[in-house]
Homo-oligomer: A and B are copies of this chain.
């Protein structure tokens, strides 16, 4: 199982490519996609699709993980997050990938052992897992890595795959 964990925003999208190697988790790629807001949605969605299609092929991804989105700003923003998530589902369809979705609380619980951990605490644990990471990384990236850590920690106990 090789996962692509994505934090799919409309301006920034963090991602991480991870796998389990024995008892340890490997992080073989990670990064931040910056999506120019001066372009129209067709272009923004296209850039997102193209990058992750490339990553899926390059790393022979089998599973995608992302975080459940909750509406916290306004409805229009929330729908636009839906554009990006729709693209992830399409990629899952095209490449026959399994999709795993985790709530923010589940991810924080799995990474920090505290469901109400802050973004900084998640980042701090991410740096403990992977000491060689360049830092500081943007939240979007540490969140995606956190989502991946959650996936592997949770999979041990659950049948969620």
Contacts and interface: CB of A to CB of B under 8 A. Distances in A.
A152 interface: no
Interface string A75-88: 10011111111110
Interface residues of A, number: 29
A131 interface: no
User: How many copies of this protein are present in the complex?
Assistant: 2
A136 interface: no
A45 interface: yes
A58 interface: no
Interface stretch (A13-21, A22-30, A35-43, A118-126): A35-43
Give 8 nearest A-B pairs by CB, closest first. Answer: A82-B82, A83-B86, A46-B93, A86-B86, A42-B92, A71-B75, A79-B82, A45-B89
